[in-house]
Structure 1
Amino acid sequence: MLSSKTDANYRKRWGYSFQWTDKHLAPEEIAALRSHYDELGSTALEKLQAIIARTKTDSKREVNCPFRPELYTVFKKHHHEDEVLQQFWDEVHSVPEWVDWEQIERAQKFFARYALANSTAFALQGFIRENSASPGIAEVFARTGGFSIKNLLSRVIETFTWVVQVTTSLESIQPGGEGHTSTIRVRLLHASVRQRILKLAASRPEYFPVEKYGAPVNDLDSMHAIVLFCCMPMWDSFPKMGIFPSKQEITDFIALFRYISYITGTPNEYFETPEKAKAVMETMFLYELEPNKTSKILAHNFIAWLEDQPPPYLSRDFMEAGCRWMNGHEMCDALGLGRPGLYYYAVFAGHNVIVSTMAMCQKLIPALDQFIIKIMLISLEVRGRSPSNS
């Protein structure tokens, strides 16, 4: 239980209260993480770009031959030719001794079990709060055009497809599987984004103030992304919808994303236990959520893109009610979101009743639970392999 507000260890930020412990990250540690990034991934990217440049030169003799090789394809074909690329290959394809495949498989079923709740959390907290209200992440998205209305569809589809691929089956997340390969692509994409922004910032420092935000997609940003997927549902978004995962479910899901953090070059030791992972999440609440002007634009664009779109045809009022339910009035006011009438809060409350009742029924009726998981896994696999999502 939380101690009195007069307790020196009591913290409250954006409506979330917790006790500060030695597992939480000190400001000095946060600064160190912000100043560091995935150097091996960045070096590997440069090596791959050099190989592609040589290949383009050799292909110039071919007439009308468009040549835009995909990074992972080049990586797979040429990794044995370069020491750095071989090191990178060996790292992402090795399996740490702490990985338990049975635990990983249970975690994947957890995602399918609560697919609707996970999707709600992903949209209303992941995009609206965590990505928009974290200045460093928001500024990167703004520089890459990822949250402009015209680019939002591809951004959401790409992210959702990746989540589906890493949770749809054990074979998919194991080395060589579709989800594993997609995660390596994400790591190379992050290195590419970082390289592009840093090059522009080198000649125009005002373009992206590195001294303020650190390098784009730094270790702290990457940890924040892991927190968004595996910690926020457990201790923030799910309880707000009336769902309370078991200790085993929490441990399993954290373990899955610890392995994903390993593949992406993110410091994975912070996710060794649920206690350490929760402390990282709470540290992010305290220090990393600081909405600015860019945050308001991104949040507005996301809601504008979703408004009245098929198949759900969600109204702006409903989405803003959901945002306020999930993120609190203080955060939503800082993001410039509207205050809808009580009717829309009641409608969102009805959504939560449906989601939480289904979760309770699945816990009480194992056969129903297995049926829902099976149906959701089939549905997610179809979506993940859909041509429009590839």
Structure 2
Amino acid sequence: MAATEDDCPKLGAHIRAWDYEFEWTPEHMTPEQMRPLMFTYDKLATESLDRLDELISSVPLRPTRKTPSSSDTQRPQEGSPPKGCPHSDFYELLKEHAPNDPTLRRLWTEVNTVPDWVDWAEIERGQQVFYRFGGPSIVSLTFHALLGGMGSHRIVETLSRTGGFGVKVARRRLLETFQHVLDVTESLPSIQPGGRGFASTLRVRFLHASVRRRILRLAAKDPSYFDTSTLGIPISDLDSIGTVLTFSADLIWVGFPRQGIHLTPSETSSYLALWRYVAYLLGTPTTPLSTPSLAKAFMESIVLFDIAPSPTSCILANNIIAALQNQPPSYASASFLRAEAYWLNGKELATKLSIPEPPVFYTLLVAGQCLFFMTMTCLKRTFPSFDKSSIIKMRRRLRELTLEQVGGEEAKHAFQYVPEPGFMTTDDGDEVKKERWNVSVWANASVERRNMLAVVVAAGVAWVCAWNAFAVAGRVSALL
């Protein structure tokens, strides 16, 4: 369970939290140091959102729909667009009105001003890192950053109020998040001012501001709806820093190593540089990502002090597995997805999230997947031309696959999951889960078949090596 201020480690102490080990340094943050960040947030985005509301007040911004019930089936069905949102593209509205409004101009000037610490060549190398390790990146983002991130009891209180992680809509929500990752890593022009990734990030920034403002307004009317004194401001600076770190530092020091992948110092710095700039565009404090040691220390501080799964954490984590199970393109089984969750997060956290422990067979499949990833990494490091061509193919293929799964529609990150009084994603959708878990899709489970092949090949190679070793030993013994 999460530590408290009274448990604050001494300098040089060896820490173990959620099956992750590290040494306490002066760069780590105590709960007392992190707490103020729970109550600060991106005020400029909120002020800009208010101004846009005033400028287009004649057009309703909030989706109109029926009063929600406690079931996520009342939310928009997967694949259905939000209704009544003609002005949900706040990026285009910002660009249009910025020249004539001081508040909007301040935000527009800020995001179009490139900080002195930005090195475009380094950021481009950071983008390449994501595609160089495309497979491990996707697995880590899905099962450690997103599913494991549900272990933060504060963050899930915000997520549960949006309804975006109900069983029927969680997959589309995850695909939209993944589209944003693809947008910011697509190319250097994409993340630069005016590019697709640049615009996508600002849309996400406005989405965060919309959710935050809506929850705070509801809490002002009914303080019991969201306890800010305990949970902090929804999507606070601490939440935003933690989110960016799950997409960067968590991959580098947890997700990749647990799959047998270790980045070079250059790859580490470049990947962090990319996400530091994304944090800047999101209105998130960038200091925690200014150096690898600071990023690692802040991530570890969050792991130690902020991860404490709640009943809601368990529901949302299992909703993710139910939403992804037996779905294209991999058609992975629930048992395999659970095995991924255990492998990436460790048994302690996965158990606390109430994820059923998978059979050993599926753990072996995950091991086979790691062997496959390690083999591909070795080949890429050995043959630069193969590395270059695989990055190009991975970029194109991931974009095609993702768009295919969402019907060819680019994510606009509209405010479609609106917090409402009396609604929370607390129904774990058992009937939906049973319906999906009872489907047998081994014939379509290409990922599981590939991983089984990797296990068989690895076992065969190990057997041949062992046989040859015994044979050589026998010959040497005979000669002696």
Fold match (TM-score > 0.5): yes
User: 5 Å matches for 1:114-125?
Assistant: 114-125=133-144
Aligned to 2:275: 257
Q: Give 1 or 2 for the bigger CA radius of gyration.
A: 2
Q: Residue 157 of structure 1 corresponds to which residue in structure 2?
A: 175
In structure 2, C-alpha distance between the alignment counterparts of 1:285 and 1:52, rounded to whole Å? 42
Paired residue for 1:127, among 113, 133, 146? 146
Aligned to 2:39: 35
| CA-CA distance at 1:385 after TM superposition | 6.3
Listed as ranges, the matches of 1:131-280 within 5 Å are 132-280=150-298
Q: Are residues 316 and 182 of structure 1, via their aligned partners in 2, closer, same or farther at CA, if it must alter by over 3 Å?
A: same
Aligned to 1:312: 330
* 1:80 alignment counterpart: 99
On the 8 A contact 1:190/1:217 being kept in 2, the answer is: yes
Cα distance per residue 1:85-139 (max 9 Å; x no partner): 1001000111001100100111111111111110000111122111x11112111
Going from structure 1 to structure 2, the CA distance change for 1:221 and 1:23 (only over 3 Å counts) comes to same
Q: CA deviation at 1:56?
A: 6.5
Structure 1 residues 326, 35: CA separation in 2 closer, same or farther (over 3 Å shift)?
A: same
Residue 23 of structure 1 aligns to which amino acid in structure 2? E
Q: 1:51: which partner in 2? A: 55
Give 1:128's aligned amino acid.
Answer: L
Q: Deviations over 1:31-81 (max 9, x none)?
A: 111111011111111111111104679xxxxxxxx7721222211111112
- What amino acid is aligned across from residue 136 of structure 2 in structure 1? A
Q: Please list the CA deviations of residues 277-306 of structure 1 after superposition, one character each: whole Å capped at 9, or x if unmatched.
A: 001110111011110010010011111111
Q: How many residues align?
A: 377
Gaps of at least 5 residues in structure 1 are 58-65
Q: In the superposition, relative to structure 1, how do residues 321 and 55 fare at CA in structure 2: closer, same or farther (>3 Å)?
A: closer
Calculate percent identity across the aligned residue pairs.
Answer: 38
Distance 1:139 1:367, change over 3 A: same
Using a 3 Å threshold, how does the CA distance of structure 1 residues 384 and 99 change in structure 2: closer, same or farther? Answer: farther
Contact 1:157 1:389 in 2 (8 A): no
TM-score, normalization by structure 2: 0.76
Partner of 2:27: 23
Amino acid aligned to 2:295: A
Q: 1:6 to 1:106 in 2, by over 3 A?
A: closer
Aligned to 1:10: 14
Q: Going by fraction, where is helix more abundant, 1 or 2? A: 1
- Cα distance in 2, alignment partners of residues 35 and 123 from structure 1: 28
* 1:357 paired residue number: 375
Q: 1:162 to 1:383 in 2, by over 3 A?
A: farther
2:309 to 278, 286, 291: 291
Amino acid in the other structure paired with 1:96? P
Aligned residue in 2 for 1:61: none
**1:187–1:264 CA contact under 8 A, matched in 2:** yes
- Consecutive unaligned residues of structure 2, counting only runs of 5 or more, are 1-8, 62-83, 412-480
CA distance in structure 1 between the partners assigned to 2:403 and 2:94 by the alignment: 23
Letter in 2 for 1:106: R
Match of 1:90 in 2: 109
Question: 1:107 aligned to 110, 126, 137, which one?
Answer: 126
The 5 Å alignment of 1:332-343 reads: 332-343=350-361
Q: 3-state DSSP class of the match of 1:215?
A: coil
Give 3-state SS (helix, strand or coil) of 1:217's partner. Answer: coil
Q: 1:6 to 1:139 in 2, by over 3 A?
A: closer
Q: CA deviation at 1:193?
A: 0.3
Paired amino acid for 2:409:
S
Letter in 1 for 2:139: T
Aligned to 1:60: none
**TM-score between the two structures when normalised by the length of structure 1:** 0.93
2:320 to 292, 302, 309: 302
In the TM superposition, what is the alpha-carbon distance from 1:374 to its structure 2 partner?
1.1
Q: Which amino acid aligns with 1:91?
A: E
CA-based RMSD: 1.7
Indicate the SS of the match to 2:16: strand
**Residues of 2 paired with 1:379 and 1:347: CA distance?**
24
Distance 1:8 1:378, change over 3 A: closer
Q: Does 1:388 align with 2:416?
A: no
